[in-house]
Every structure is written in C-alpha cells, then in structure tokens.
Amino acid sequence: MDSKSRSVAVFGGGCFWCTEAVFKMLRGIISVEPGYAGGTTENPTYYAVSNGNTGHAEVIKIEFDSSQITYSDLLTVFFGTHDATQVNRQGNDVGTQYRSIILYTDGTQEKEARAFIQQLNDSSKEGKPVATDIVPLTKFYEAEQEHLDYYARNKNQGYCQVIIEPKLQKVQEKFAELLKTHSKN
C-alpha cells in the first residue's frame, strides 16, 4: 500500500466498544483505536469523560487504505449503525460523551460529511434532522488499555451480547460488500 492511500477518519457514534467492533469488520481497515476527542480537557480518562465534564466524546480513530474502502463508505457504515438523530445519547447510553460526532482531518472530509448529512436530511422520511456534530480534529487521546479490542476480549459479557452482537449482525447483513472476507471480531 502506498502512503497516499493511507488515511484517517475519526467518528463518535455512541459507546466506542460498539463502533470499534463494527469498523474492524470492514475491508481496507488498517487499525481502529478507541479514544476521546472533541473536548477541551487534556489527557482525559474514561472516568472523567463518563462524568460528562470534559467535553470529549467516546470516538474511534480509523486508519484505512483508501484504495480499498472510501471515506464515503465509512460514512455509510457510520450512519447505518447508529441513530444520528438522537442528541447526546445512543439507546440507553446517555450523555454528551455518546453524541454523534465526525472529527474531520481535512477540508475534503468536512465537505463530504456535510454533503452526506444534507442528503440524509433531504431523504428523511421521519422528518428528524441528523444531529451529528462536524468539527475539526484538534487532538485524539487514546483510551485506556482495557478498552482496546473490548468486544473481542469480552464476547460473553452481557453488554457485548445484548448491544454489540446484534449491531454486528446488522452490519453483516446490511454491508456485506464492505466486509473483510474472513472477519475476525
């Protein structure tokens, strides 16, 4: 892979345990790292972010090969796997840390994200506007070690079985053409 096709995307769509597991299933993904971004507190911890005092959201940083999967493909999966019309929550996970957010790394990503959201709003049958924040990525903070590969290490845990597993099944059905041939969740 040449360095020109190596790109980074940063998304927050609820709990990063879920989003990490979803994006690890896709072809062309080099790495997915959970972390925190979008706030002002330096070196935030999971505990501080969970208390809602940092301004940060739980996010994932995706390194991908743009010759195998496009930013638009990633946006399609991102919006197809969470409810972007909910403000500061995803399901039972409530708080600003669970907000829907895109942190763009350049003007092209910003433009593409805004156009994608406009298209979603224009085609909405429910009349609810997309509430996703679109902001520049200023700093990404890695999550603590225990959050890395959370689903893969905790498949039998209740949250993983009730929340993450059904989401991964939905991804397999809805986005089969974007999956790795032999997905290792």
How many other C-beta atoms are found inside a 10 Å radius of the C-beta of residue 141?
18
Tell me, what DSSP letter sits at residue 85? T
Taking 60 as the threshold, does the pLDDT of residue 185 lie above it? no
Nearest to 32 by CA among 12, 52, 57: 12
What are the structural domains, with CATH classification, of the chain?
Answer: 3-178 (3.30.1060.10)
pLDDT tens-digit map of 92-125: 788 899 999 999 999 999 999 999 999 999 987 7
For the cut 60, the answer to whether the pLDDT of residue 183 exceeds it is: no
Out of 15, 32, 77, 160, pick the active-site residue.
15
Q: Which secondary-structure segment (H or E) carries 22?
A: helix 16-24
Catalytic annotation present for 15: yes
Pairing of strands 89-90, 29-37: unpaired
- DSSP state at residue 179: B
Asked if 14 and 91 touch (Cβ cutoff 8 Å), the reply is yes
Enumerate the β-bridge partners of residue 144: none
Residue 184 has pLDDT above 70, yes or no: no
Q: Which among 48, 50, 8, 49 is positioned nearest to 31, based on CA atoms?
A: 8
**Single pTM value for the model:** 0.92
